[in-house]
Amino acid sequence: MLTRKQHELLQFIQRRLEESGISPSFEEMKKALDLKSKSGVHRLISALEERGFIRRLPNRARALEILRQPDDVTGTTRPSASNIVELPRAKTQPRPFVANDVIEIPLHGRIAAGVPIEAMESSQMLPVPAALLGTGEHYALEVSGDSMIEAGIFDGDFALVRKTDTARDGEIIVALVRGEEATLKYLRRENGMIRLDPANAAYEPQIYSADEVQVQGRLAGLLRRYH
């Protein structure tokens, strides 16, 4: 099952491949679908990949492969509030295409700003190599402080975060503590409590009750500027 926008993107890529043999750029896809930013295109492509219509080719950051295409180019739409269309499995052979390897994700600010992630403005966008991100929705935060330096995360780095509300022990997460302070730490669960571990021997672990900590994302990558 695909949404209308996912269906439109798949059809647009298919038409361009049939016409020129070259995939449209992210900018062209954004304009064709009347989206506000390239991050919207990235989310659609990620959704198509998760549903088995597109596959990222291994060791080739710029290449994707179309695994399924609709038999009916015009598609059909079910009259429902969610605006869902169903695509039959394609009978054609998979065909690779090249996509822009730089995408834009929301840059929410500094991670020690003390503001819930959802409340931060998303007017700024950060260009990110697509190879650094996997599937799902992502955002970026500028790291403030040195509590994670032993994990290779330094003050001024940009943390690339996959948005999620779940995480496993040992993962580096964005944690919202008591609805007030966002922090980047290792997640540990211990005797019914949540322990947020720094990666710096100069800092002590922070221990909270489970209802005081909300997972707002998992670390997916880092960007660093060299001056």
In whole angstroms, what is the distance from residue 165 CA to residue 163 CA? Answer: 7
Show the tokens assigned to 63. 């290449």
Residue of 19, 20, 18, 23 whose CA lies nearest to 56: 23
In whole angstroms, what is the distance from residue 77 CA to residue 199 CA? Answer: 51
Neighbours of 205 (CB within 10 A): 12
Q: Which amino acid is at 111?
A: I
Show the tokens assigned to 214. 């909300």
Tell me, yes or no, if 36 is annotated catalytic: no
Tell me, yes or no, if 37 is annotated catalytic: no
Q: How close are the terminal C-alpha atoms of the chain, in Å? A: 47
Active-site residue, from 30, 38, 163, 185? 185
Active-site residue, from 38, 46, 147, 163? 147
User: 65 near 94, Cβ under 8 Å?
Assistant: yes
**So which residues are the catalytic ones?**
147, 185
